[in-house]
Amino acid sequence: MADTSTIDVERLTIFEAEAELKRLAAEIAAHDRAYHEQDAPTVSDAAYDRLRLRNERIEKRFPSLVQADSPSRRVGAAPASGFAKHSHRAPMLSLGNAFEEEDVEAFATSIRTFLERDFAVANPPPLTMVAEPKIDGLSISLTYENGRFTRGATRGDGSVGEDVTANLMTLPDTELPRRLADAPELLEVRGEIYMTRTDFLALNDQLQAAGEKPLANPRNGAAGALRQLDPDVTRRRPLRLFAYALGHSSSPIADTQWGILQRLAAWGFPATGLARRCDDVADLLTQYRRIGDARADLPYEIDGVVYKVDRLDWQERLGFVARSPRWAIAHKFPAEQARTRLRAITIQVGRTGALTPVAELEPIGVGGVLVQRATLHNEDEIARKDIRVGDLVIVQRAGDVIPQIVASLPEHRPEGTEPFAFPTHCPVCGSAATRDADEAVRRCSGGLVCSAQTVERLKHMVSRDAFDIDGLGQQSIEAFFADGLLKTPADLYRLTPADLTGREGWAELSIRNLMAAIDARRELPLDRFLFGLGIRRIGEANAKLLARHYGDWDSLVSAMTAAADPASPARQELVAINRIGPNIAADLVAFFIEPHNQAVLAALVAAVRVLPVAAPVAAASAITGKTVVFTGELTAMGRREAKARAEALGAKVAGSVSAKTDIVIVGSDAGSKAVKARELGLTIWDESQWLQVAQAGS
Ligand code: IVH
C-alpha cells in the first residue's frame, strides 16, 4: 500500500486506516523503546505527541480497528532489568496534552459535561483547578510506611517500575524527607526527579573531559544518574526532587490538590513555588503565560503547565480514560527555536556503518542552551527540506532531544549555493556507501576495513552498559587506535603500563586505575559481553534474551554457526525466540560466520572469561503445566513464536481443542475452535491477556 502517513484522518479508507494504525504502532513502540530503555529519545515530545494523537483520532473514527496492543492502551515501556521490580499500589499514568488554547477550553467543557449534576444547578460552583509547571524529569513514586521512607521506584510500565531506593538515598533529607510526621500508615508520594541545568552542564563537562559523549539534556542526565547500578556513581550526579501528587494513601490527607501540595510542602518536600489555584480557563491561561515567561530563568527545565481539577472528590468521579486521568491535562509549551547560519554539513560514521549528516552551525543560544551542532537525520530529509550549506536555518530544541533543523529560509539564501550532494562513499575509508531499498540510511560497506566503524565499536565495547571500563574515554580510544595500541578488542587486555607511560594525560595514578579497571573486567557475564560486541540490532535487551536462551558462550557460538543455513533447525530456534525476528537473526548469523570476526572473537575470549548466565528459574506463570491451544490470527507475534514462548513458560501447546485443554487463546478471525471452547466452557483468553503472560518475566 502507498504511503498512508500523509493522508488526512478524515479521508482515510478503512484499509488505509488499518495500515496506518499498524505503522503508527510500530513507530510509537520504537520511540518508546528509545526513550524508556535507552534514555535516548529519537523524536521531540511534540512530534511524539502528534503520532499518538493521530493514532487516537484514527481509532476514534474506526473503533473496530483498535488492536489489543494499540499504543493508546500502553504507557511507557516495561522495566529494564538490573533493578528489582516494584509494583505500584496505585498505577502511575501519564497525561493527555493540550497544545492550543482551544484544547484547554475543550478540556474544561468536557469536565463540566461529565460533572453534569454539579453544574446543572442555578449557581454552579467554580471549576477550580491548580496550574503547576510540568517538570521535565522522570516520574517517581516514593513509598512511606508509618511515615518512614521505605521505597522509591520509577514509573516503568505504569504498574511495575524499578526499585531505585538505593540511588534515591543519595538525595539529602532536605530534598527527600526520610520521615513524615502524622502521615497515613501507607502513602505513595508522586513527583519528579530532575537535574538542574547547572549540574547538567557540569556533568557534561566532566563527561567530555573524560572523552565521553555528552548527554542531550538534563532529563537524560537525570535518567542516567537514577538508573546507575552503582549508587556511588549517582552520588556524583546530583539529583533533585519536586513532589506534586499522591498515589495510594491509606487515609485521606486533604480534600483538594491544593491541600495536598500544602501538606507535601509542610512535610518538607521541595516545591516549585509556581503552582496557583485558578477559577476559570482565562485564569489558567494567564498562569500558562506567567510560567512560560519565567521558564528561561528557572534553574530547571519545564515543558508545559499541568492543570488539575482541585477537588479530589471530583477527580475520583472523573476517573481515567485509557492511560490518562480525565481530571488533568498537560498544556505544552511550543518548542524553542532560533535562526542561525549553517556553516557545514559533516558526515559521521557510526558503529554499524550508518552515515549520519550533522549540521555545523554558527553557535546560537536556544532556550538557554548553546547550540552548535544539530542532527539532519538522513539524506532524504536534507533533500526534502532543501537544506544547503550557507543557508539561514531554523534550529529547534525541544528540551528532550538533540537539536534539529526545522527548515531553511531560502529567501535569505546567499548566491551560488548548491543542493547538498550526499556522499556515495564513506568519508573515512572510501568504501562505497549503499542504501537498502527499504531504509533511509546509507551505510559504509567497508565493514571491518573501515576505521571509523572499528573505533566506534571499540568505544561501544568499553562503554558503561557493555564492558564498562572505567577511565577509558572516547578520545583515548581514538588516540590509542591512531597509534596502533588498540586495534582489536583483544588489544585492550594486552595494554601494559609501559604502553601508556609518557603519554599526555596519563599520569601514574590514572594508568594504575585504568589497569585495575581492565583487570576488573577479565570476567564478564554473557549478556554484557554479547552487547559489547556491537552487533547491529543487538542492544541490551536482545543480548539478554540471547544470553538467557543459550546460557553460555560456547553454546551460543555453536548455535549461531549451525544457524548459518536459513533452513536449519538452529535458525528456526533462533527466530522462535520472542522478539528475535528474521532480520535480527540474519544480522547475528552474518556476524558470527564472518571469518575476521571469528578471529577477533577467538582472541577476545582467550583474554576474557565469559560467565554463563543462569537459566531463568522457570517462573511459575499462569500457563505453567497447562495445555493451551492457539486459534485465530495473532497480531503481535507469529504462531511459531507464540508456541515457543508458551513452551518456554512450561505449557504444553496442543493443536486441537478438547476437554483436556485448559486455556484457548483466541486471535482475530477465530473459527470453530473458539466455538468449541465456548461450548466446553473452557478458559478463553484474548490476545492481550496472552501477551501479558507471555511478556511477564521475559
Ligand atoms: S501529575 C495522573 N504534575 O508528567 C498523572 N505530573 O505526562 C499524574 N509531570 O508522568 C501526574 N510535572 O512524570 C503531574 N506537576 C506535575 C508534573 C507531572 C511533570 C510528569 C509526570 C507524569 C508526566 C505526564
The string of pLDDT tens digits covering residues 230-262 is 777 788 888 999 999 999 999 999 999 999 999
192 lines ligand 1 (CB under 6 A): yes
The model's confidence at residue 38, banded by pLDDT at 50, 70 and 90, is low
Shared-domain flag, residues 139 and 215: yes
Alpha helices in 398-473 (DSSP H): 451-462
CB distance 94 to ligand 1 below 6 Å:
yes
Q: Among 364-368, 569-573, 595-599, whose mean pLDDT is lowest?
A: 364-368
Does a structural domain hold residue 79? Answer: no
Helices 569-576/553-562 angle, 10° precision: 120
Instruction: Please tell me the distance between residue 494's alpha carbon and the centre of ligand 1 in angstroms.
Output: 50
Is residue 489 scored above 80 in pLDDT?
A: yes
Decide: 241 in ligand 1 pocket, CB within 6 A. Answer: no
The residue behind cell 547538498 is 420
pLDDT over threshold 50, residue 80: no
Catalytic residue list: 134
Mean pLDDT over all residues of the chain?
88
Q: 459 and 426 in one domain?
A: no
Contact 260 CB / ligand 1 (< 6 Å): no
DSSP string, 126-186: P--EEEEEEESSEEEEEEEETTEEEEEEE-TTSSEEEB-HHHHTTS-TTTS-SB-TT--SE
Task: Check whether residue 388 and residue 486 sit in a common domain.
Answer: no
Residue 616's pLDDT band (boundaries 50, 70, 90)?
A: low
Ligand 1 centroid – CA 285 distance (Å): 18
Query: How many domains is the chain partitioned into structurally?
Result: 6
Question: Distances in Å between the alpha carbon of 346 and those of 353, 397, 422, 430?
Answer: 15, 20, 10, 15
Look up the CATH number of the domain holding residue 52. 1.10.287.610
Give residue 468 CA to ligand 1 midpoint distance, Å: 33
Question: Side by side, which strands form the sheet with 627-631?
Answer: 652-654, 627-631, 663-666, 683-686
Q: Which pLDDT score is estimated for 659?
A: 87
| Residue 588 · residue 570 · CB < 8 Å | no
Q: Which long-range contacts (CB under 8 A, 24 or more apart) does 659-665 make?
A: 660/627, 661/627, 661/628, 661/629, 662/623, 662/626, 662/627, 662/628, 663/623, 663/626, 663/627, 663/628, 663/629, 664/628, 664/629, 664/631, 665/628, 665/629, 665/630, 665/631, 665/634, 665/689, 665/690
- Asked if the structure places residue 488 within a domain, the reply is yes
Residues, the chain? 698
CB 243, CB 251: distance < 8 Å: no
pLDDT tier at 418, thresholds 50, 70, 90: very high
Give the integer Cα–Cα distance in Å for 610 and 550.
Answer: 13
* 625 — pLDDT class (breaks 50, 70, 90): confident
Q: Residue 522's closest CA among 586, 652, 610, 632?
A: 610
For ligand 1, atom 22, the nearest C-alpha belongs to 94
Pocket probe for ligand 1: among 154, 244, 269, the residue whose CB has the most ligand atoms within 8 Å is 244
The pLDDT of residue 78 is 46
Question: Do both 531 and 485 map to the same domain?
Answer: no
Q: Give the three cell numbers for residue 640.
A: 511459531
Please check whether residues 388 and 430 belong to one and the same domain. yes
The residue from 373, 408, 434 where one domain ends is 434
Other C-beta atoms within 10 Å of 439: how many?
Answer: 11
Q: Amino acid letter at 612?
A: P
Query: Looking at the structure, do residues 229 and 279 belong to the same domain, yes or no?
Result: yes
Domain end marker among 312, 332, 352: 332
**Are 180 and 63 within one domain?**
no
Going by the DSSP 8-state scheme, the letter that residue 39 receives in this structure is S
Annotate 548-570 with DSSP letters as a single string.
Answer: HHH-SHHHHHHHHHHTTSTTSHH
Cα–chain center distance at 483: 37
In a domain, 227, yes or no: yes
Question: 330 CA to middle of ligand 1, Å?
Answer: 8
Closest among 153, 130, 120, 156 to 35, alpha carbons compared: 156
Helix (H, G, I), strand (E, B) or coil at 423: coil
| Residue 83, pLDDT above cutoff 70 | yes
Domain hosting residue 59, numbered range: 9-74
Chain-centroid distance, C-alpha 278: 34
Q: Are both 341 and 321 inside the same structural domain? A: no
Return the best residue to mutate from 192, 260, 287, 302 for the ligand 1 pocket (most ligand atoms within 8 A of CB): 192
What number does the ligand 1 atom closest to the CA of 138 have?
13
Assess whether 479 and 598 both reside in one domain: no
The answer to whether residues 268 and 347 belong to one domain is no
CA–CA distances in Å: residue 260 to residues 89, 190, 235, 674:
18, 11, 30, 50
Q: How far is CA 39 from CA 35, 43, 73, 85, in A?
A: 5, 12, 22, 18
- Spatial neighbors of 351 by CB under 8 A, at least 6 apart, are 453, 456, 457, 459, 460, 534
Residue to substitute in 35, 48, 134, 329 for testing ligand 1 pocket (most ligand atoms within 8 angstroms of CB): 134
Q: Are 353 and 213 found together in one domain?
A: no
Q: Is residue 2 part of a domain?
A: no
Q: Is residue 4 part of a domain?
A: no
Give the pLDDT confidence score for residue 619 in this predicted structure. Answer: 56
CB 276 within 8 A of CB 126: no
Atom of ligand 1 nearest to the CA of 139: 13
Say if ligand 1 is within 6 A of residue 244 CB.
yes
The pLDDT of residue 2: 72
CATH number, domain with residue 631 = 3.40.50.10190
As given in the structure block, the three cell numbers for residue 111 are 469536565
Does ligand 1 have an atom closer than 6 angstroms to the CB of 687?
A: no
**Considering the domain boundaries, does residue 60 fall inside one?**
yes
Amino acid 315: pLDDT: 95
Instruction: Report the percent of the chain where pLDDT is more than 90.
Output: 55
From ligand 1's centre to the CA of 92, what distance in Å? 9
pLDDT score of 505: 85
The pLDDT > 70 percentage for the chain reads 95
Q: Which of 146-160, 345-359, 505-519, 661-675 has the lowest mean pLDDT?
A: 661-675
Give the CATH number of the domain where residue 566 resides: 1.10.150.20
Q: Nine-digit cell at 316?
A: 475520583
Residue 619 belongs to some domain of the structure:
no
| Relative orientation angle of helices 197-209 and 218-226, to the nearest 10 degrees | 70
In a domain, 440, yes or no: no
Q: Which three cell numbers stand for residue 261?
A: 501540595
Last residue of some domain: 505, 521, 537?
521
DSSP string, 187-229: EEEEEEEE--HHHHHHHHHHHHHTTPPPPSSHHHHHHHHHT-S
Gyration radius of the chain over CA positions? 27
From the alpha carbon of 92, which atom of ligand 1 is closest? 2
Whether residues 319 and 194 share a domain: the answer is yes
**CA 189–ligand 1 middle distance (angstroms):** 12
